[in-house]
Structure 1
Amino acid sequence: MSPIGPGHDWRVVRPDLKWQILRRSWRFFLWAMYSSVGSMMLGYDFGAAGTCTAFPSFVKQFGEPFEGSYLIPARVQSGWSGASTAGDILGVLAGGYLIDVIGRMQQGASGWQLFLVGRLISAFGFGIVFVNSPVWIGEVVRPELRGFFLCIMNGSIVLAQFILSCTAQGTSKINNDWSWKIIIILQYMFVGKIWDYLSIRNKLSTNSNVSLRQVPLIVFYPFFPESPYYLLKNNKHESARNSLEKIWGKNDQELINAEMERIQANVEFSEGMIAEAKLKGPLIVQAFQGINRKRSLIAMIPPAGQQMIGSAFVLTYITYFLELIGVTNYFLVSLILYIVMLISNLSAFFVVEVSGRRKLLVPGMIVLTLICLIMGIMGCLTSKAAFWVSIVCIFLWAVFYQITIGAIGFALSSEVGSLPLRPVTQSIVGVTQGVTGWVMGFVTPYIINPDEGNMGAKIGFVFFGLGIIASVLVFLYVPETKGLNFDEIDYLFASGTNPRKFQEAIAEYRARGQSVKKEDLAPKSISYENEKEGVIVEQQE
């Protein structure tokens, strides 16, 4: 009999059967991909303006005369980046609140209505739905595959940017304004409003073509299952069961019963955690009270590290940058780069469950920092060889970024927040990424534009310096959460265990045959390492 066939005990977490469970999780995978459309929206939006800047017709329309041609000034590019990022920040803040008030399913409808009016408002809507996916996945996913499915968030961003790059390569053959207008129009693909745009542009009535406005995103929305965690938290047990049957199917009621028990236990455990810690006030305040302060700050490290190592530069301006440094077929090279990133990101789905989080993040950040240093050095040279080494550095950066902090950073940030505060923690993560991304997106045009810094590949020095800081933070504070359930993560933080010692501490805890209880979560004990025995012990403060 198959290990996960009829009669399998779903109440027992079996990491050794994760790949068999993955094959059983095809419905969940489809819903997880559907929930990640907010990440796709953000990914496309991140790169749209920077990609359009590489089109001559776009530059001519929005730029200024510069040395016999046209150039979009750095201040204008920075303004576009700032408007978009401001919308993202406001959106994730609103989303973190709304997701706990009206549920996970309702987020999409609130955000989709905002995408038609300007870059700022569009980004606000993108930010709202961006929060939904990691919260929904984290609450519903089987523990054996939590890291795998949380990688979907970054995978969706890369997929959208790959679509953007394919579109740019195709429209680069068009010698008029439609070369870049098509890219802008395709943003409406995500919300089913392409025909609205075309109808307005051509002064046609939208009422006569309603059928053309329907896309799978809207068609499937009424069937999207609400988070069972949210439903059980609000005492809607029958609705939670119906939602689980949408996610897993109705054939295996033993699985449904086990998931009902597991998620209900998480709800009760989380409520008990709040009571034990005696937290009060708004959720955003609670996220920075007591031990949750440490958890929130750790959750902020990966998104900040992504930007500090060059994410905003590569994912937003790489096509334009390739043009500036003299790459002839820059649209094609950009497309190849995104193919490499997409393949690298897909490999991270499996690597994260085998190697873990910390074991990839720490060496990954060090390698990325060194790549930036090499690229900066090559920027100081003028030889053809130095030029090609710079291109190779960009591709190597793409591979290591997507396998490490690009994919795993989002997964880790979604794991370290406590269950009751996960929505607001995800908002904090989004704001951190938005603020650091805004800073880097704002200054990058001033660094690379010919009318300003014109640093070329020497921009690598900037990310080398920032990468050193990010690498130190990752080494000191990022824990290894592979194989840990949420109860154990709560216990390790509450006991004051050094983040670098999570695996050793939980191994000792399990060896004593203990299970986590609510009283273990009161932040009244600290842990230290016995220098002689090398084990974690507890001591009252």
Structure 2
Amino acid sequence: MTEIKPQDAASVHSKTASGSITEEAEKSLQFTEAEHSLGFWPAMKLYWPAVVWSIYINLATILKGMDGGIVGSLVGLEPFKRTFGYEYNGNYVVPARWVSAFNYANPLGGIVGALFSGWAYDRLGPRLMMAVCSTLSIAILFIEFFSDKSSQLFVGELLNGITIAFYPICASAYVGEVTPLSLRGFAASITNLGFVIGQLIASGILKGTDNLDNSFAYRIPIATQWSLPVVILTVIYFCPDPPYWLCKKGRYEAAEHSLRRLATPNVDVSLKLAHIKETLRLEEVFQHSDNKPNYISCFKGPNLRRLVICIMAYDMQAFTGNILFINYAVYFFEMAGLNTSNAFSMNVGLTSIGFLGTCIAWPLLSYIGRRQAYLWGCAALTVSLFVIGALDLAPRTHTTAPVWAQCALILACNFIYDLTIGPFCFVLLAEVSSAKLRSVTIALATVTCHIMSLVFSVVIPYAMNEDEGNWRGKLGFLFSGLSLLCTVYCFLCLPETKGRTFEELDILFEKRVSSRKFKSYVVDVSGREDIA
């Protein structure tokens, strides 16, 4: 195997480096070697257009983050409580069944949307898929904006949940297919950053309308969601299609044109095109399948293991309590004892800290493995959530210290989550899923995540509401136990995918290498013909 020094990596990507290479297998091998030796900043200089388009495609995840942040916090607004609630002990309270319904409308719709998203991505492509979803989202938001009945608002949120479920699946698949190896972690984490930015915008808007004493206190936050679909629609025509998707369609000339748009002129795109063809050929040999990806294929052979890993990587977000300390943050703060104004102020701090955590995670993605980040993240959340539960047992007759300590720990949990599990999840989704089945694998993982979110969205209000379970912070014990189980799973079953090309990952999964040995296992890509 030819050795390529790091300082020569950029030259391997240049047009003059491979003029005499004609066979795709040799080009693919050369591309693999260059990918491993190309550093972050040289890759950024060569492939900055791919990063720019990855950021654009993730504008849609900002919208999903806004929707989740707004829907989960509307129940804390007094005008909302008066419109959709009833009077209880001198205060207006939204019935627990409707608090649950408003919060599970999104994941319930997301289940339906995610089931169709894999098919839509492979059949329509990301550009048409994004255009259709943005148009539908604009129309559906009218239902939410003019709602004055709980059932009407629920229907609007349900339909919007179906529509915006397509966005993160599209973003994760797209980013994984257009960015080089050294930029893949950074670019994939932008999806989580999109969620966090959306939540931050939502919390800021809700804090701004908190002082309004009429229906516009909750109508204005809903109306702000119209802006991003309009921006997406104005630019989507110019967005390049992902080359993997084009190659799966047999459109190789279009894939080459797309690769040129996703890189600078100094990049020889024939190497990447040959690598894509070889990766798809290798997967076809491994899977003994045709060129039509489907959900059933995800449950066969090594693909089943890849699917389970993706499912757990996504579901661990819910198991470690993100529904509690993100979607129900304002509600938790109020149940803990803060007044409405302090609750919304705390929510702004919560999302700001989440944004900071995601930004800090960017440089870490180049140095810390996915497995290590999940292990430490789950372990830290296990301890933090347990302390939240323990503090709820403290007497509150003469001091508010336990309340503020719980709220501070909620902020800490969000920081830990957005530093580890949040951004690293979308990197794993892009890396663990195979190229041929990426969209349908991510879609199925998203379905299970929405199911878990649905369960917790129903359970949490009944557990927290003062007219129901009145658990308040004791929910920390539940999520602490689940986080502990997640830590054990990560140690036993979560593989390290950092620094591996898609071709190498195909070989590792096909050879059934133990998850704990992924990092150290030596893959001889040049010998892939023997494996095939």
Q: TM-score normalized by structure 1?
A: 0.86
Are residues 496 and 7 of structure 1, via their aligned partners in 2, closer, same or farther at CA, if it must alter by over 3 Å?
closer
TM-aligned CA deviation for residue 281 of structure 1: 8.9
Instruction: Give the corresponding residue for 2:235.
Output: 220
Contact 2:134–2:233 (CA under 8 A) maintained in structure 1: no
Which residue is equivalent to 1:36? 58
| Deviations, residues 114-167 of structure 1 (Å, cap 9, x unaligned) | 222322111111012332111111112101221111111111111100110111
Corresponding letter in the other structure for 1:186: T
Local SS of the residue matching 1:65: strand
- Distance in 1, Cα, partners of 2:46 & 2:132: 32
SS in 1 for 2:92: strand
Distance (Å, rounded) in 2 between the aligned partners of 1:15 and 1:73 = 58
Q: How does 1:319-398 map to 2 (within 5 A)?
A: 319-328=330-339, 329-383=342-396, 384-398=400-414
What is the CA-CA distance between 1:14 and the residue it aligns to?
3.7
Q: Which residue of 1 aligns with 2:22?
A: none
Q: Which residue does 2:505 correspond to in 1?
A: 489
The match for 1:130 is 168
Question: Quick one: structure 1 residues 219 and 294, their matched pair in 2 at CA, closer, same or farther if it must change by over 3 Å?
Answer: same
Residue aligning to 2:313: 302
State the Cα RMSD in Å.
2.1
- Structure 2 counterpart of 1:76: 98
Structure with greater contact order relative to length (CA < 8 Å, sep ≥ 6): 2
- For 2:223, which of 181, 185, 203 is the aligned residue? 185
1:149 aligns with: 187
Aligned structure 1 segments of 4 or more residues deviating by more than 4 angstroms: 2-6, 278-282
- The structural deviation recorded for 1:351 is 0.6
Contact residue 299 and residue 414 of structure 1 kept, 8 A: no
Deviation of 1:404 after TM superposition, in Å, equals 0.8
What's 1:413 paired with? 429
Partner of 1:292: 303
Q: Partner of 1:418: helix, strand, or coil? A: coil
Distance (whole Å) between structure 2 residues aligned to residue 51 and residue 504 of structure 1: 45
Q: Which residue of 2 aligns with 1:399?
A: 415
The 2-side partners of 1:496 and 1:5 are apart by: 31
TM-score (norm 2): 0.87
Aligned equivalents of 2:187 and 2:488: distance in 1? 27
1:264-288 deviation per Cα after TM superposition (whole angstroms, max 9, x unaligned): 322322333332xx58997211101
Maintained 8 Å contact 2:36/2:499:
no
Q: Quick one: distance in 1 between partners of 2:262 and 2:45?
A: 14
Where do 5+ consecutive residues of structure 1 fail to align? 193-215, 522-541
> In the TM superposition, what are the counterparts of 1:139-178 in structure 2 within 5 Å?
139-178=177-216
Equivalent residue runs for 1:435-514 within 5 Å = 435-506=451-522, 509-510=523-524
Q: 1:23 to 1:167 in 2, by over 3 A?
A: farther
Give unmatched runs, 5+ long, in structure 2.
Answer: 1-5, 15-30, 141-155
Residue 60 (structure 1) shift: 0.5
Would the alpha carbon gap of residues 178 and 356 (structure 1) be closer, same or farther in structure 2, given more than 3 Å must change?
Answer: same
Call closer, same or farther: CA 1:279–1:26 in 2, change over 3 Å: closer
Rounded to whole Å, the distance in 2 between the matches of 1:183 and 1:34 is 23
Counterpart of 1:20 in structure 2 is 42
1:155-211 deviation digits (Å, cap 9, x = unpaired): 11111001101111111122221111111111222222xxxxxxxxxxxxxxxxxxx
What is the alpha-carbon distance in structure 1 between the residues aligned to residue 109 and residue 44 of structure 2? 36
CA offset digits 1:280-331 (Å, max 9, x no partner): 9972111011121111111111111110111112221101221221224111
Cα displacement (A) at 1:227: 1.0
Amino acid at match of 1:30: V
Q: Deviations over 1:430-455 (max 9, x none)?
A: 11210111111111111111111121
Give the Cα–Cα distance (whole angstroms) in 2 for the partners of residues 428 and 370 of structure 1. Answer: 30
Q: Aligned letter for 2:248?
A: K
- Do 2:322 and 2:414's aligned partners in 1 also have CA atoms closer than 8 Å? no
- State the percentage of identical aligned residues: 27
* Alignment partner of 2:117 out of 95, 120, 125: 95
Distance in 1, matches of 2:222 and 2:49, equals: 32
Q: Aligned to 1:67, which of 68, 89, 111? A: 89
1:468-502 superposed Cα distances (whole Å, 9 cap, x missing partner): 22222222110011111112211111112110111
Residue 503 of structure 1: SS of its match in structure 2?
Answer: coil
How far apart in 2 are the matches of 1:408 and 1:15? 22
Q: Is the deviation greater in 91-100 or in 28-37? A: 28-37
Q: Corresponding residue for 1:533?
A: none
